[in-house]
Each structure stands twice: as C-alpha cells, then as structure tokens.
Structure 1
Amino acid sequence: MSDSSSNSSSNSTPEILQISIATAKAAQKWGNNALLSPASDGYQIHLPENDILRGMQKAGRSLDNLGISQLQLSGAGWSKDLQWAFYQGFCNARKHDGVGFNNEHGEAEQLQQLAQCFSFAKKMINDTPEMLSPVALAEQAEAFIRTIAPAGSVSSELITGADLAEAGWHGIYQVGRGSTRPPALLVLDFNPAKAADAPVSAALVGKGITFDSGGYSIKPTEGMATMKCDMGGAATVTAALALAITQGLKQRVKLILCCAENLISGHAYKLGDIITYKNGTTVEIVNTDAEGRLVLADGLMCAAESKAPLIIDAATLTGAAMVAVGGEYNALFALDQPLAARALQYAANEQEATWQLPLEKWHQQQCPSPYADTANSRPVKGGGAGGASNAAGFLSRFVPDDGKGWLHFDLAAAFNNSANSYWAAGATGHGIRTIAAALLTETTAK
C-alpha cells in the first residue's frame, strides 16, 4: 500500500450507524416479533403495539450490548419521549453520549440538555467512594450548577467537620464524624433575580452519603458493595435543579446537600447515642445503618429556615421501599395529599414510574424510645414492617406546617445492581425529570 493510500485510510471518518423506526414488523427470518432488524445503513426498530417506550428502551439496550459506541437517530417518527427512552437504554456506566438526537420536531437541543443533567447525576452516583468524598460531592454539585446557571445568580455556603456541630447540624456531624474525611452541608442559593429580599420559592434537600458501611450496624458484603450510590438523592436534586434552570426556572430555589461517609472508627457514632436536633427533638440511635434520615433531618430544618413553601427531599433511603415497589418505581410520601396528587401527575407526564406509599402523622410514633422522643428506627432487620413509611414519619418531625408543601421521594429506582433488558448496571437518573417538573410548575403557580 502506498503512503498516500495509507494516509487516506487513516484520515477517513467512520460511518455512523443510522437507527430508524420501521413502520412494519420485522421479516420472519429475524425471529418472531423481532425488535431489531438490519438495514443498509444501520438498524430498524420494530416497536411493539403496546408499551412502546419500554420497547424503545429495550432496543437501545440491545444496541449497546452489540458494542456500538455512536449512532444517529434518523428518519421519521422520533418523538421526544421515544428518543429519551432509547437514550436511557443505550447509556451505560462508562458511556453517557454517542446518541445523535433527531431534530425533526426541533427537540434535539432539549434532549441534549436533558442528557447533560442526567450524565452529571449518573457519573456522580457511579463514581467510586474513594473518588467522591463528602466535601468533593458538595463542591462538584456547586460547580455543576454554576456552569448551568446565569452568571451571578448562584451563591453558596459550605459547612464542614466540627463546624457542623457548632452550627447545630448535629445529625450530619454525628453520622460523618467516624470518617477521616469530614462531613459537609452545602446550602446553595439559586437567585436569578439577584435580589437579597427575593422570596425562596422552593428548597431541595438531598441525602449525600458518599459511602455507607452501615457503621457499627455493619452491612454484609453484598449489601455494602453498591453503597457508592447512597448519595443518589444529592445527585438527583442537583441535576433536577440544573434541568429546571435550563428549562427556564425564574424563581429562587435553595439546594441543600447533606454529605457524609458512614464509617466505623474510634470516633464513630454508636448505638445508644442520643442526638439532640436544632428543633429540640431527641433521637436515640438503635441502628447506625438508618443514617440517611439523620442527615436529612438537618437538611429539612435548614429548608424550613428558608421559609420555602415547597420542600422536596430525595434519598436512597430504605430497602423497604424497594421491597414495596421494586426497582422500576420510586416511592413517594406526603402528608399534603393535593400536592402528592400533583406530583404523581408530574411523574406520569415525564414517564417516570412513581407510586405513593402510606404516610400519616401517627407514623411519627412508630419508632418509640424509652430514652428519647423517638428512635431512628426499630431495632430489627430492615426496620421492621412498614419501614419506608416509618422512615418518612421520622422525617415529618422536621418539616414545618404539619407537612404542608413537603414531598419525600425514596429513590428505589435510582440504581441497578446489575444490568437487565432495559437498564445498564448503575445509576438511572430516575426522578430527575419529576422533581424538575414539580419545581417549574409549583413555583410558577405560587
């Protein structure tokens, strides 16, 4: 081969596979009701008559499994929801791009913004716990919002280590003090009006446990192996705020991230300890692995101090929620039933499966303690029957106005331990679109 031929070959651009939507069923030779069939320039997707979004997501997963790194969605029929379903299936823990969106309906830019926000959350959740300390989580979340928000619209406060106890944020401090890497509370203020007296329309609170060993209530290996994902709530609300900003959020919003590593050491918190919170509530520790609610309690009180009429928290909080709704749904809890009904509608509109589980004021009494106002759980495996509702009941002690304007998302669908026909292993981003929609709609209505 001559030098010129060699240079021509090395400089050529690889041909990008074209992915189109077929209008007819696949030929029988490709199998009964085949989802994919080859075309001259790529592949055709033959969507099922029912559940077409899941069919599209499955097609994306199948193409990723072939080792394809880049493709273009081409031809007609690509709605925004179909493109997003394909993207969700095609992504994996090491690849958040490679999809050329179809701009037939002028939606490619919106989809790119959506992918940017999901990519941030997924990368953060999939990062190793060594890479992502509590302070690093807070700093990276702030940096991401600053890249999205208009210049001058973001300010923040970061409190770390023993300064948390000095400031009265005892839950975050106690959970995180066993680690050599200090716990942190990030309070980020998105204030697009840039006016000090602008009212705070909403506050987002995220659980940011960057690694959860369970503490002295130590997890078994199989339960601990994926606990890098226990900061999924913090990543979710950060990405939701970013997405809402790209979609035109004009109201002031506080982002509150409660970040800590739950580790064992000579300085770790212990069973039998009692934490006294800012609002005077005393909590006996009967399970150091029920730490998420302890840090969220601080975050919810911080949100209440902002006087925000809407408070949304998100957390990978309980295994009980996963037992109840499985890995395809997030669980929703609220004492404000009209707000809960609207939130479920936002989730349905955004194609994010969400199910409301029971929460009443009496759930506050479901973790009794003879030594304090409440225990942080029940001293039985998994927190006992109704564990997800009892955890939500614990959180409800720390929100204002008897829960009016408060939503709690237990993110059962935020992470997959292993791949399946629809999702790669790792973070999913499930819940980001719902929370962003709630922000945009609820703050505008007020």
Structure 2
Amino acid sequence: MRYDELIQPDNGQPAIPIQIVDKIGFETWLSEQTDAVRTATKAQKFEGALNDMAILPDDRPGEWSIVAGVTDAGKLTIWSLSKLAEALPEGNYRLVDGEAGDAMIGWMLGHYRYQEYVSEPKITGARVLLVKEPGGIASVVLQAAATSLVRDLVNCPAADMGPNALEAATKRIGHSHKAEISVVGGEALETGYPLIHAVGKAAMRDHAPRLIELIWGDERHPRVAIVGKGITFDSGGLDIKSASGMRIMKKDMGGAAHALALAELIMAAHLPVRLHLLIAAAENSISGNALRPGDVVKSRKGITVEIDNTDAEGRLVLADALTKAVEDKATLIVDFATLTGAARTALGPDLPAMFSNHDDVASGLLSAANAVSDPVWRMPLWAPYAEMLDSDIADTANSGGSFAGAVTAALFMQKFVPDDISWVHLDTYAWRPVSKPGRPKGGEALGLRAVFRYLTDTYPVR
C-alpha cells in the first residue's frame, strides 16, 4: 500500500468525522452531547482514555461519527491517531477540529503490516485521512516510507537478508536516485578492509562480506557520511551467544537498514549535501577459519586490534568503514549500529544511545529529536574509560569488559575518527519487543527521523 494514498487534502469527498477528547475534557465534552450520544459512549465504556474510541450515532439514518481518546486533545502527538488507523473500517475520515500535524505519520504507520512469509496475508483496506494541510504531506510520506523500509529490512529472515541482499537493496534505491554504487567484497577485503574481512570470513562461501558504498549529490556541497553496521546475522562467533541471545540476531543489520533509509530520505528531499553511504555487511558466523579470541588484526587505519571477544564484532566492521569516510574527507559522520546490550540495559528498547565528539552537534540532534518525537539520549565519551580497552600485545583491544559497555564501544570507534571531524554514533536497538499502536512487534526505526530533522535543519534546501 502506498502511503501517499492514505493522506489526502480535503477535496469535499464524504468523510466520517473524528472528534478527539482527553480524560480531562471528557466530562465537559459529554455534557454537550445529545442523549443518544451519551448513551452510546456509556454502552461502549468510553471515557476519553488514550487509544479508546467509540462509534457515535447521527440524527441522519445510516450516518455515524467517531470519538477518540488522546493524551492531550489540544496537541496531537505522532502516535495519537495510530490506533484509529488500525481499527477503523475502510473509508475516508476527517478531524472535526484542528490539524493532524505529525499525527499523519502515525496514521500512515498504523497501516504497516509485515506479511511476506504469511501463507494467507490479511488484507485490510485503506483508511484515508483528509487533511487541511496538504503542504506537509510529501515530507511525512517520505518519513513513513523510510520507517517502513527499516522495518521491512530488519524483519526479513537472515537467510534472505544476507550481505548480497543489502547490496541489492542499496543498488535498487541508489539507482532510482542516479547515485554511484561501488562494492568491495570477498577476499578482496583482506588488504583494504581487514577488519570487515576478519569478521565475515567464516561465512565467506555462502554470505561473503562486503563494503557497500553509495555516492550522491553535488561535489561542491558539504560531504556527509552515513555509516551502517550490516551484520546480517550474529551468532557471536566463537564466543557464541546463547539460544535466547541469538533468537533475534537477524536484526543485527538494523544499523545498515537505518543508514540506507536515511540515505534515501536525503536523496528524495534533495538536501544540499554530498552524500557518502557506507554499509559494512558481513555475517558473524562460525567455521574452521573463524576469527578467534586472542587474534590480532591490523585495521585499515593501521591500528592493531586484539580480539578479546568475537561477539564485539560490530565495532570492528564499523572501524574500517569509518576510516574510509575519514579518508574521503567527510565533514560530518553519522553511524547507526545495533552495537551493545549495555545500551539496552541502560536505556531500554526505545531510546538509542547517542554519542558525539562535538557538543554543538549533540545539542542540535537532541533538539531535532525532541521536535519530531523521535527521542535519543546522549551518553558520554568518558575518556578515563579508554584504559579498559588496553591490550598487552596490540594497540587496542576490541572489548572493554563488563563495565560501561556502550561507552567503551563508542571509545573504541572514536579511535578511528579525528577530533576535527564531527561524528555522531547511535547505538540503536532497531527492534520493538512489544506492539503498540502504529508500532508492531519487530523491526523498528529509532533515531532515524531525529537525524533526518537535524540534517534538514543543518543543510536546508534553498
């Protein structure tokens, strides 16, 4: 279903009215209704609670309307209308008062379903919201589509979403925007991108690792690099995960999914930047030639890395990709990665941990996140913890031990980005463990819209 079919300007077509009310204003609203409406709301136990709704009778035969409960009837949030979009029958709808604003995105995403592997997909009709602000439709359609792209890529089983599939998705999107695509893969990585090669070599035969690059935009514009961790399945390597820890590791390419979706947003919005997308794609598998604890690998930058833990592989592939972004003179680097369980322990599934080496960039991103209700939480690049990465035989270890795991992972990656380049690292979960209106269980975009808003604020289209 195309999202641009779900939001249309008010063109006089018949539409079912939607009233919104919150618990604070419910009694006042109820006192103004007819006896028939009061009876209907009581029968349906509607009291203005969030996500509650009731069907209201009309004086005219065969006609009806909706009343919906929201958190704050004076200001719709992004997810205020999502439950309606999921629950209402097919048809046209309109708000009685006010504008939908950001809630248009939630309305669209209320239609999202991932049914690629269902024998008999559930077919649901479109619920079209007629709005009075057509100027905002194009932007919210792009953001809803980008969110769905992340969900689709992450939800896809690893057998069908290996490094080759990430390459194919990048080429499909890149070619549609006339971008340049290049790929270095397989054994050719060993000399140019040795950390990516080391992580992916155990799956070389069936799921060869690769660095996927996309270049787009005017060379005269500021160069913005978007880097994504594309571990298409993470067994943990020889430091193998438990069965429960491995269950949803198809999502370990969620950083790459975010990076690709953001790249498409940038190109579709024609932001005045020179875009450089880098996806480090590999499967962290087990075989006779798998990376071992205690091995030392020399990175693209020349930094030697002792492998303390083969399950700390995402930072390795990102290190080589970050080095390439730096070599190509990026002015801003943003990376997305499903990097550490420590970030989830600290912040839970909804809040990506955000690290940045420049305070002004971090502040701008926090403001952007707040503006679009896509929260991130800044975490410290606490320099004293860098000693946790010390190695007895190499320049650095890849794992800092059990303390401050998200911080030490970021400190490891910071070794590959000089201070004069603005850098943002987002340790995002890319997964929703329980369903909420407009946000089904499974793959999820977290921090995507925040970064896009920051980029549109920083590099506005003239």
Is residue 284 of structure 1 aligned with residue 309 of structure 2? no
Cα distance change on mapping 1:234 and 1:252 into 2, 3 Å: same
Is residue 410 of structure 1 aligned with residue 435 of structure 2? no
Shift of 1:41: 4.9
Amino acid at match of 1:178: A
Equivalence for 2:38: none
Equivalence for 1:3: none
Which of residues 189, 192, 212 is equivalent to 1:186?
212
- Where 1:348 maps in the other structure, the secondary structure is helix
Where structure 2 has 5 or more consecutive residues not aligned to the other structure, the ranges are 1-13, 31-40, 57-62, 116-121
Q: Distance in 1 between matches of 2:441 and 2:343?
A: 19
Q: Distance in 1 between matches of 2:164 and 2:228?
A: 14
Equivalence for 2:10: none
Q: Distance in 2 between matches of 1:100 and 1:108?
A: 13
- Where 1:216 maps in the other structure, the secondary structure is coil
- Where 2:425 maps in the other structure, the secondary structure is strand
Moved more, 34-43 or 291-300: 34-43
Residue pairs, 1:134-173, within 5 angstroms: 134-147=163-176, 149=177, 151=178, 154-166=179-191, 168-173=192-197
Is residue 247 of structure 1 aligned with residue 269 of structure 2? yes
Contact 1:237/1:435 (<8 A) preserved: no
Shift of 1:364: 3.1
Equivalence for 1:428: 444
- Where 1:366 maps in the other structure, the secondary structure is helix
Shift of 1:420: 4.3
- Where 1:208 maps in the other structure, the secondary structure is strand
Moved more, 421-430 or 309-318: 421-430
- Where 1:384 maps in the other structure, the secondary structure is coil
Q: Report how many residues are paired.
A: 413
Equivalence for 2:323: 301
- Where 2:254 maps in the other structure, the secondary structure is helix
Equivalence for 1:13: none
Shift of 1:275: 1.1
Equivalence for 1:325: 347
Contact 1:207/1:315 (<8 A) preserved: yes
Which of residues 69, 74, 82 is equivalent to 2:94?
74
Shift of 1:188: 0.6
TM-score, with structure 2 as normaliser:
0.82
- Where 2:276 maps in the other structure, the secondary structure is strand
- Where 1:186 maps in the other structure, the secondary structure is strand
Cα distance change on mapping 1:373 and 1:120 into 2, 3 Å: same
- Where 2:147 maps in the other structure, the secondary structure is helix
Shift of 1:442: 2.9
Equivalence for 1:122: 151
Moved more, 210-219 or 28-37: 28-37
Q: Distance in 1 between matches of 2:384 and 2:167?
A: 34
TM-score, with structure 1 as normaliser:
0.85
Which of residues 39, 44, 47 is equivalent to 1:30?
44
Contact 2:200/2:209 (<8 A) preserved: yes
Equivalence for 1:9: none
Contact 2:16/2:93 (<8 A) preserved: yes
Contact 2:333/2:423 (<8 A) preserved: yes
Contact 1:53/1:85 (<8 A) preserved: no
Where structure 1 has 5 or more consecutive residues not aligned to the other structure, the ranges are 1-15
Q: Distance in 1 between matches of 2:103 and 2:93?
A: 10
Equivalence for 2:3: none
Amino acid at match of 2:148: S
Amino acid at match of 2:175: R
Cα distance change on mapping 1:420 and 1:101 into 2, 3 Å: closer
Amino acid at match of 2:414: S
Q: Distance in 2 between matches of 1:228 and 1:345?
A: 32
Which of residues 220, 223, 229 is equivalent to 1:201?
223
Which of residues 384, 387, 409 is equivalent to 2:405?
387
Contact 1:61/1:424 (<8 A) preserved: no
Residue pairs, 1:344-423, within 5 angstroms: 344-378=366-400, 383-400=401-418, 402=419, 404-412=421-429, 414-420=430-436, 423=439
Q: Distance in 2 between matches of 1:397 and 1:364?
A: 10
Cα distance change on mapping 1:410 and 1:259 into 2, 3 Å: same
Q: Distance in 2 between matches of 1:418 and 1:42?
A: 30
C-alpha offsets along residues 249-270 of structure 1, whole Å, 9 cap, x if unaligned? 1221100000001111112111
Equivalence for 1:102: 130
Contact 1:18/1:43 (<8 A) preserved: yes
Shift of 1:72: 4.2
Shift of 1:52: 6.1
Give percent identity, aligned residues only.
Answer: 31
Equivalence for 2:18: 20
Q: Distance in 1 between matches of 2:447 and 2:70?
A: 25
Cα distance change on mapping 1:246 and 1:373 into 2, 3 Å: same
Cα distance change on mapping 1:221 and 1:78 into 2, 3 Å: farther
Q: Distance in 1 between matches of 2:243 and 2:15?
A: 41
Equivalence for 2:11: none
Q: Distance in 2 between matches of 1:314 and 1:73?
A: 37
Q: Distance in 2 between matches of 1:315 and 1:232?
A: 7
Cα distance change on mapping 1:109 and 1:421 into 2, 3 Å: closer
CA RMSD of aligned residues (A): 2.7
Shift of 1:111: 2.4
- Where 1:80 maps in the other structure, the secondary structure is coil
Which of residues 61, 69, 85 is equivalent to 1:46?
69
Q: Distance in 1 between matches of 2:385 and 2:173?
A: 37
Q: Distance in 1 between matches of 2:44 and 2:54?
A: 7
Shift of 1:375: 1.1
Equivalence for 2:360: 338
Moved more, 251-260 or 237-246: 237-246
Shift of 1:280: 1.7
Shift of 1:352: 0.4
Q: Distance in 1 between matches of 2:101 and 2:109?
A: 12
Shift of 1:417: 2.9
